[in-house]
Amino acid sequence: MAYAVAISTGVLARQPADTLWSEMLSTILDHFRDGRDARILLPLHGQRSIAVDGSVRTADDETLGIALPYDRDFSQLVDPREICQILFTLQGREYRLLTRIQAIPGASDLLVKPKPPAIALQERQYFRIDTRVELSYYRLASEMPQKPHTVNARVNLSGSGIRIPAAEPLQTGDLLAMVLCLDGGKCLENVECLAQVVRFSTLPNGEMAAAMHFVEIENQDRDKIVAFCLARERELLREKVRTRDFY
């Protein structure tokens, strides 16, 4: 049975995905019933995106209406095939909601349908670092058994997420079961987590990269990642000092 991650009273809860998403959707629709301001991450043609301030209001039992700034015509800019994201605050916590665009009824209006799950954003105190790690993952959406996809490359890593080269076709919203190897390929210090693709970007070398948020991870495993990042940063600083002293 598929599972999703909810955050209730600050504690990760694991429930059947269909029941959990029904409860989450009801809460989200009630939250936007009278209209609320939110940050909208709009997908544009050409695999680009922009963030704008907008207003979100519940349209019916399945969809939300988004009112964008009236000073621009977004109808030709937005790519309706891609994921539209809504960033909002609920009960004092920040959330990221992934939605599918159902219609573009006007120059500054969208009709979107939420898709599970709504992601509670972690506080951004986690230290990020560019480093080489080995990891493997497979997508949870497939009904057929999959062979894990292995990556051994330079990534951007923190306790809240990871950005990896997008060598395998992925889509925004994909849920991945992931294992990170943090000890130089020996795989004695593994971290298991559930990650979700939230956006794509182009690296300086022209390659595409997928940014992922850890939506389910044990606290001790998150601490391992943070400790690894800090230790790796100290190593890089020592290497810089040795190089400077040598020259």
Domain boundaries, the chain: 3-120, 129-244
Which residue, among 94, 91, 132, 118, has the nearest Cα to 20 in the 3D structure?
A: 118
Whether the Cβ atoms of residue 195 and residue 137 lie closer than 8 Å to each other: yes
Structural Rg of the chain based on CA atoms:
20
Residue 194: count other Cβ atoms within 10 Å of its Cβ.
19
Distance CA 240, CA 61 (A): 57
pLDDT at position 240 is 64
3-120 CATH fold: Pnp Oxidase; Chain A (2.30.110)
Residue 131: count other Cβ atoms within 10 Å of its Cβ.
16
pLDDT at position 140 is 85
Taking domain 129-244, whether its CATH number is 3.40.630.30 is answered by no
pLDDT at position 241 is 59
Pair of tokens at residue 196: 């979700």
pLDDT at position 60 is 92
Distance CA 144, CA 231 (A): 39
pLDDT at position 147 is 80
Whether the Cβ atoms of residue 108 and residue 141 lie closer than 8 Å to each other: no
pLDDT at position 184 is 62
pLDDT 10s per residue in the chain (247 long)? 333 333 333 333 344 445 567 777 888 999 999 999 999 999 988 878 888 999 999 999 899 999 999 999 999 999 999 989 999 988 777 788 989 999 999 999 999 999 876 766 554 445 678 888 999 998 887 666 678 889 998 999 988 899 999 877 888 888 999 999 886 655 557 899 999 999 998 877 888 899 999 989 888 888 788 778 877 776 776 676 565 555 5
pLDDT at position 171 is 87
Pair of tokens at residue 152: 């051994």
Distance CA 185, CA 177 (A): 19
Coil/strand/helix, residue 38: strand
Question: What does the chain come to in residues?
Answer: 247
pTM across the whole model: 0.50
